[in-house]
């Protein structure tokens, strides 16, 4: 039994164990990309009694802003500037909750918390200089540490959830007298393990995918480690070439599409076409001239033409429009 399960059992809101409303939770796994991603979320939000958005490194000012928008005290655009990275997606999220009068709570790790610092420090690949086989082991350590930080964040959310729901019920007589209270939790694709964890804790869970999640190989490796599975040499190597590809071409791809899921899918497609020996040869060729560095400063432009030649040999190219990108992804899905 996990530590968070023991903690939750000791702090249980007891929705199913005491007199009071039964708690049902819908988890909507949403891509934080465009306004269109809010449409399906809105249908669930309209039926919910309590809403919990993902809010990594939140501040009291941001939480108050959400609550004020829900009450209609503040308009969405007045609150948007409180985000570290304002976006159309976040504006659409605020517009969804505007004047809804629904309780908004955060269960994510707040700004300044040690877990938040741990997650941030484990996100970016540190600079690495060394031989390829040692690099593969370096990548495996990175996946392990990143997974540990994400699991710590997830456990924090799981332990905080019953406490925050109880606070809402204590301050809301109407909800407290209901037979059933519906909680909507929206999370990014990286947190799909939350469903199983909450079911283990005794909640009635409905899992809803806003869209089929697309994981980069880097994310896939981290998810494996989060589940206690090992990352083999090939996956570690392909995740590294995927990182190299995004370092070279990522900004160009962002110019042709706002949908990060498409860029992720294409990067994964590219990386999956390289076998272990090919990736090792790229490393040896370019590291020998001290031109390939993973992490830190990245003079990727120096190997751009080399990578483009390799892609061309595999029947791939870097798309110049979103339609070209869609066509390449469609072809890759064909049986």
What are the DSSP calls for 43-66, one per residue? HHHHH-SEEEE--TTB-HHHHHHH
Give the DSSP H/E element, type plus range, for residue 22: strand 22-29
Q: Are residues 122 and 140 in the same domain?
A: yes
Q: Is residue 316 part of a domain?
A: yes
Q: Are residues 261 and 288 in the same domain?
A: yes
Q: Are residues 293 and 164 in the same domain?
A: no
Q: Is residue 7 part of a domain?
A: no
Tell which residue, 160, 158, 51, has the closest CA to residue 105. Answer: 51
Q: Are residues 230 and 275 in the same domain?
A: yes
Q: Are residues 91 and 190 in the same domain?
A: yes
Domain final residue pick, 147, 177, 209: 209
What is the Cα–Cα distance from 166 to 287, expressed in whole angstroms?
56
Place of tokens 């919910």: 48
- Report how far apart the first and last C-alpha atoms of the chain are (Å, whole number): 42
pLDDT per residue rounded down to tens, the chain (335 residues): 344 434 333 333 443 454 579 999 999 887 766 677 788 889 999 999 999 999 999 999 999 999 999 999 999 999 998 887 888 888 999 999 999 999 999 999 999 999 999 999 887 766 666 788 888 998 999 999 999 999 999 999 999 999 999 999 999 999 999 999 999 999 987 787 788 888 887 777 877 666 666 788 999 999 999 999 999 999 999 998 898 888 889 999 999 998 888 999 999 999 999 999 999 988 877 665 544 444 545 555 567 888 888 899 998 999 999 999 999 998 877 65
pLDDT of residue 319: 95
pLDDT of residue 162: 93
What is the Cα–Cα distance from 266 to 252, expressed in whole angstroms?
13
* Count of domains for the chain: 2
Q: Are residues 289 and 140 in the same domain?
A: no
Are 129 and 163 spatial neighbours (Cβ–Cβ below 8 Å)?
A: no
Q: Is residue 8 part of a domain?
A: no
pLDDT of residue 306: 80
Place of tokens 């283990």: 200
pLDDT of residue 40: 80
Q: Are residues 201 and 221 in the same domain?
A: no
Q: Is residue 270 part of a domain?
A: yes
pLDDT of residue 11: 39
Tokens of 302: 């120096």
Print the domain residue range for 65.
16-209
Q: Is residue 6 part of a domain?
A: no
What is the Cα–Cα distance from 121 to 145, expressed in whole angstroms?
10
């Amino acid at each position: 039994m996990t530590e968070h399960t023991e903690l939750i059992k000791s702090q249980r809101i007891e929705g199913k164990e005491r007199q009071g409303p039964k708690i049902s939770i819908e988890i909507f796994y949403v891509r934080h990309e465009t306004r269109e991603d809010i449409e399906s979320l809105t249908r669930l939000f309209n039926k919910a009694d309590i809403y919990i958005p993902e809010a990594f490194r939140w501040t009291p000012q941001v939480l108050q802003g959400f609550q004020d928008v829900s009450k209609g005290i503040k308009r969405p655009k007045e609150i948007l500037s409180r985000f570290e990275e304002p976006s159309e997606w976040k504006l659409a999220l605020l517009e969804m909750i505007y004047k809804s009068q629904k309780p908004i709570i955060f269960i994510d790790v707040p700004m300044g918390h040690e877990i938040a610092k741990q997650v941030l420090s484990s996100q970016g690949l540190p600079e690495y200089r060394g031989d390829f086989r040692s690099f593969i082991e370096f990548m495996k350590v990175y996946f392990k540490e990143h997974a540990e930080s994400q699991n710590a964040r997830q456990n924090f959310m799981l332990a905080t959830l019953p406490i925050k729901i109880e606070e809402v019920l204590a301050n809301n007589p109407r909800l407290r007298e209901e037979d059933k209270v519906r909680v909507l939790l929206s999370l990014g694709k990286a947190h799909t393990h939350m469903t199983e964890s909450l079911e283990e804790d005794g909640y009635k869970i409905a899992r809803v995918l806003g869209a089929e999640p697309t994981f980069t190989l880097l994310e896939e490796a981290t998810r494996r480690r989060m589940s206690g599975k090992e990352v083999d040499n090939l996956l570690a190597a392909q995740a590294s070439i995927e990182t190299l590809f995004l370092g070279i071409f990522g900004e160009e791809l962002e110019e042709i599409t706002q949908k990060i899921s498409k860029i992720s899918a294409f990067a994964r497609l590219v990386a999956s076409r390289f076998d272990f020996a090919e990736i090792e040869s790229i490393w040896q060729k370019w590291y020998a001239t001290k031109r390939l560095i993973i992490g830190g400063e990245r003079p990727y432009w120096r190997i751009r033409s080399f990578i483009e030649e390799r892609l061309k040999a595999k029947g791939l190219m870097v798309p110049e429009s979103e339609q070209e990108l869609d066509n390449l992804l469609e072809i890759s899905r064909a049986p």
